[in-house]
Amino acid sequence: MSPTPGKLEVQQVYNDAWRGWPVRPHNRQHPIRGSFLDPRPDPERGAIYHDGVDVAVRDDRPERGAPRGRTHRVYAIEGGPVFFATPPGARGSVRIGHFGYGHVDALVQTGEIVTPGQHIGWTCEGDWHVHLSEFVFIGGGGRLTVNPLRPGGKLYPFVDTAPPAIREIRFHAPATPDWGRRPSTSVVRLPPAGERLNRERLAGRVDVRVRMSDPQSVIGWFQELPWLAAPHHPFRVAVSIVHLATGRTVRRREVFRAEQLLGLSAGRHFAPGTEQNLPANGCMRFHTSARCDGIYWFRLFPLRYWDTTRLADGRYRVVVRAWDVAGNLATAGVEVSIANGV
């Protein structure tokens, strides 16, 4: 069996032991609206994965001393060399040690040595967040893009007591539509496609899809602007097929982990019906007339679909398990019948 997509097999080694958040207060959890692996538009591939997390800031309440067009101070959560920094005054990015900070006006320069907790830039008005990405350096000068919110990382504290929400399990004929856009927006949408199948008479190859998300129990200042609160991409998903006549599990696989960027195209990971959430600035403008939240549909057999001909005809139970980064577990199942007539 191939390795689990998104599973991180190497260990991160940080430059220091500092832990906290890149905006004030450092020792308090901040809301995250854009989670790791969310779908994002791409002009060539239609959609790609969000390669970090968006730590939210209140643009409508800038910090004292913020320059014009800037709202909140950004701090390094790890010390080390500045590998890259855009010129001061630009809406750009900084990369320090194992971390990248996006949509910021940089105050440091390439080649500087930064200490953890040092003020390195400002968030830019209109973005409502700082984009935080993380990398693991591997041999030969390569690097892996990893989830900054995964267990054992530097973002601390992080509390979530709400398990993932598994909404629906469906069965469809295989289909691979092109990514489009939500109407009147620039955010991506994978349009519905593939005939929905009767789960009492499944045959041949079947695209098993599940709609789920990861709601957050701690939303911070989003309580005052509740339309901004958005569920996250689930951290880990697994599926099992149980033969009801014998009670034997005939198929078990881990679908993915959100520890690093997936080796799957976005259209193989996400199933038709998926929609990206509106960015915060768009949500602030249109939340009274448009849905801000996105929709997550996932393919449980993303490479070659579920080949039901490998199993005897009969009754089975499809069981889905989903975890969040805090380890909370949700389980859901549905009974099906395989009827290939063999």
**pLDDT reported for residue 92:** 98
Digit-coded pLDDT (tens) for 85-110: 999 999 999 999 999 999 999 999 99
CB contact at 8 A, 239 and 319:
yes
**For residue 216, which phi and psi values (nearest 5 degrees)?**
-105, 135
Say yes or no to pLDDT of 10 above 50.
yes
Identify the CA nearest to 192 among candidates 294, 270, 271.
271
**Average pLDDT for 223-248:** 98
SS3 332: strand
CB 333, CB 317: distance < 8 Å = yes
- Distance of CA 171 to CAs 6, 252, 300, Å? 24, 18, 10
What is the mean pLDDT of the segment spanning 18-45? 97
Give residue 269's identity as a one-letter amino acid code. Answer: H
Strand 143-146 vs strand 165-172: parallel, antiparallel, or unpaired?
unpaired
Structure tokens at 288: 């009274």
Looking at the predicted structure, is the pLDDT value of residue 1 above 50?
A: no
| Those residues with Cβ within 8 angstroms of residue 19's Cβ, 6 or more apart along the chain or in another chain | 77, 154, 155, 156
Residues 221, 88: Cα–Cα separation, whole Å: 29
pLDDT in tens, 40-86: 999 999 999 999 999 999 999 999 999 999 999 999 999 999 999 99
Is cis: bond before 163, omega within 30 of 0?
Answer: no
User: Is the predicted pLDDT of residue 2 greater than 60, yes or no?
Assistant: no
pTM of the model: 0.96
128-176 pLDDT tens trace:
999 999 999 998 889 999 999 999 999 999 999 999 999 999 999 999 9
pLDDT at residue 118, rounded to an integer:
98
Q: How far apart are CA 281 and CA 267, in angstroms?
A: 26
pLDDT of residue 151: 95
Specify the CATH architecture of the domain 165-338.
Answer: Sandwich (2.60)
Average pLDDT, the chain: 97
Distance CA 300, CA 238 (A): 8
* Cα(119)–Cα(60) distance, integer angstroms: 21
Percent above pLDDT 90 for the chain: 98
Select from 47, 9, 313, 296 the least CA-distant residue to 165. Answer: 296
Q: Report the chain's terminal Cα–Cα distance, integer Å.
A: 26
- Domains of the chain, by residue range, sit at 165-338
- 217, 162 Cβ separation under 8 angstroms: yes
